[in-house]
Structure formats: structure tokens, C-alpha cells
Amino acid sequence: MFSRKYLIVVLSVASVAMARHHSRKYVTRERSYADQEIRGEPIDVEPQTRAQWEAVAEEDARVGYQADRDRGVKRFQALFKVGYYLPVVTSIVAIAVIWRFVLSPDNGLLNTVLGWVGIDGPNWLASKTWAMPSLIAMAVWRNFGSAMIIFLAGLQGIPESVEEAGQIDGAGPWQRFRYLILPLLRPTVLFTSVTTGIGYLQFFEEPFVMTQGGPLDSTVSVSMATYDQFGFGNYGLATSMAYILFVVIAVITFIQFRLLREK
């Protein structure tokens, strides 16, 4: 049941993306025909040669990119996208190494900045209380960009007329977001929470590099424990742990589907 639903989500998201992708191609081609007509040029109804098909495909990619900046923050949108996305494409190991310095107690970046406002930051990674929140904060920092890109795509899939209708009915910005946009974003929220959940239930590199599971095992994740057992040569135990993780992931994903399904 779980697997089929997951499959459906992956497929539907992809097919929606593909459908939009193709409708854009259609629109552009129509538009360019219209231009040609105005200029009195002959109209070729279908691309005939391979070169033309390639041109259509290239155009496709470019139009898709341009359509991404049609609303909201228009200026520098590419810069924001690239900037926020940077940590996602960077090696987790490199990021974990960098963050160890950022979180270092006496002269780390974070505690220095906190010092400006008079806060005496703790030794983040050596504290049983703060080690896990630190890793989580880093994970949020790192994954922010991928969630942002998915939400951006989801938001751009909502036609502007929806907001206009809300405006006409006198809904304020918050009401429009809460009662119009958010319900329409449900599939995007579901998709993001499912993929992020599956990814971070397998949390491994961060504790491996930053804390080795310490202090006092406070940051040992299932994957970390599995890896340790594997390292001791207990292959059977390691695999059993991984399978239990698989079941837990399946159950949590199922719950997410139940909570976020269309009502």
C-alpha cells in the first residue's frame, strides 16, 4: 500500500512537471508562429529536421527557466536560487568539517557572532544538550535550498487567477495564503516532507564527521549504529537494523500520506 502510494506521488509529480514543461513548449511555439505570421513569414507547422527539433528542445529548457521568474521576487531571483541551493550540492563531509569550525566553542563563527549580542555560547558539539540541536540546525541550513526549489515549482504551478479571485473576495494576504495557497500546496508539502523524511531518517555523515555519535552516544543515528555494527563485522545485525529502519521509514511515510492526503 505504501509503496504504491509513494510510486503514485513520484509519478504524479513528475507527470505534472512534464505536462507543464510541454504546455510551455506548445505556448512558445504558438507564440512564435504568431510572430512569424505578423512578419509575413511562412509558418512551419511541425519541426521537420533534427536541427529544428533540437531548437525546440533548447527553447524548452530556456522558456522553463524564464517562466520560473514570473512572479514574486523578480529581481535577483536566480542569485537567490543559486545561493540558497549551494549547500545542497556541496559534499556533506566538507560541510560537516566547516561546521565543526563554525561551532567551535572559543573562536567559532557562531559563538563570536553570539558574543556581539552578549550571549556566551556553549561548547555546542561537546554538550549532551546541544550536540543534537546543532546537527539538526546544520541539516536545516543545508537542506533549505532543496525544499525551496520544490516549493517554488509548486507555487508556480498555482495560477495567478486564484489569488486574484481571493483579492476580489476581499481576503487579506494572510487569508489568501492560509485558505487558498496552502491547501493547493498540499501535494508539495507532502512531497517535501516525504522525501526529506526518508533522507534524514538515514542521517549519517553529519554525526560521523562532527561527533562520531558522541558525546555519550547522544548523536548516534540508526545509520550510524548500523555502520558501527558493520565495522565490527556483525553483518547480520547491521542488516537487521537497516531493515527495521526501512520499516520505520515506510510507517512514517504512510502516516505522512494519511495526514496530508486530499480531503
12 touches another protein by CB under 8 A: no
Residues 81-100 close enough to bind another protein by CB under 8 A: 81-100
> In the complex, what is the shortest distance from the CB of residue 125 to another protein, in angstroms, rounded to a whole number?
12
Within 10 A of 99 (CB to CB), how many other CB atoms are there?
24
Q: Are residues 219 and 211 in contact, defined by beta-carbon separation less than 8 angstroms?
A: yes
What gap in Å lies between CA 204 and CA 230, rounded to an integer? 14
Residues 62-81 close enough to bind another protein by CB under 8 A: 64-65, 72-73, 75-76, 78-81
Of the residues 108, 166, 207, 213, which one makes contact with another protein according to CB under 8 A: 108
Q: How many residues bind another protein (CB under 8 A)?
A: 89
Question: What are the φ and ψ backbone dihedral angles of 53, each rounded to 5 degrees?
Answer: -60, -40
**What torsion do the CA atoms of 97, 99, 102, 104 make, to the nearest 10 degrees?**
-70
Residues 130-169 close enough to bind another protein by CB under 8 A: 141, 144-146, 149-150, 152-153
Contact region with another protein (CB under 8 A), list: 32-40, 109-117, 121-129, 178-186: 109-117
Contact region with another protein (CB under 8 A), list: 16-24, 28-36, 124-132, 254-262: 16-24
Of the residues 124, 130, 191, 257, which one makes contact with another protein according to CB under 8 A: 191
Sequence-ordered alpha helix ranges (H) in the chain: 2-38, 50-67, 77-89, 92-102, 109-116, 131-156, 160-168, 173-175, 182-184, 186-200, 205-210, 222-231, 235-260
57 touches another protein by CB under 8 A: yes
